[in-house]
Structure 1
Amino acid sequence: MPLSDAVDRIETITSDPAITREILDTAEMRGIIDRGDGVIHTNSGSVLSFEADVVEREGEFTCRRCGADISTGYFVTFEAGEHGPFGSSCIRKVTGRE
């Protein structure tokens, strides 16, 4: 994926450039990604399963990526907890479906 897409996904967690850089450096150091020529290649065999790892909830939310008001929130489930909410188009971008 292009580095800009990876940064866009990381910015759902933080907009601090130093933390973004640290996340990418740590992932590279741990062998999770390879970087070069503005492109990131993942080395991990784990893939996010949209059906199992994304939870949909109805309510009044604000999309964590774009800031839009949404009535259906999508949350990504990790071992450490949930991340979201995201709207329908933003969840596709965050999970790499678009």
Structure 2
Amino acid sequence: MSTEFIRPPSVRTSVSGSASREEKRELGVELLANLEHDELPLADAIDRIETVTTSPSLTREILDAAEKRGVIDRENARLRVNRGGTYVDYDSQVVSREGEFECRRCGASITTGHFVRLDAGELGPFGSSCVRKVTGRDAD
């Protein structure tokens, strides 16, 4: 199986209630492809996917699509990421904006929102520590 991440045509979107199921699926797959570590527990992967969707069926679709495309391999309760050296570049892919936000990961009120720009769209806002956890830069 090829480990090259095969992306369908990009759709720039921000994850919100108005994002389609397909847009959320693509963003979730790309998020998994860009995690900092090569391997992680399934529970940690689901924690990250929940920043895109809390729908159990869509979470399963994201995991299935990522596996089918060769982005991840699943064994028991662990995922191995076949990213080929790709991970979120904080200098170019994480932007911050001032305003009144709610962190997509922990729900805290924040005044500086950090957004992750991926080819499939933008994910956020996150607080400064949650953006690092979502991308796998920091352990939970």
Instruction: Mark yes or no: TM-score above 0.5.
Output: yes
Alignment correspondent of 2:120? 80
How well do the aligned residues superpose, as a CA RMSD in angstroms? Answer: 1.0
What is the aligned residue count? 98
Runs of 4+ aligned structure 1 residues displaced above 3 Å come to none
Q: Which has the higher contact order (CA 8 A, sep 6+)?
A: 2
**For structure 2, which runs of at least 5 residues remain unmatched after alignment?**
1-39
SS at match of 2:96: strand
**For structure 1, which runs of at least 5 residues remain unmatched after alignment?**
none
Pairing partner for 2:109 from 69, 88, 91? 69
The residue type equivalent to 1:58 in the other structure is E
Alignment correspondent of 2:49? 10
After TM superposition, list the pairs within 5 Å mapping 1:1-98 onto structure 2.
1-45=40-84, 46-98=86-138
TM-score (norm 1): 0.94
Alignment deviations for residues 44-93 of structure 1 (CA, whole Å, 9 cap, x no partner): 22211111110011111111111110011100002233110000111111
TM-score (norm 2): 0.67
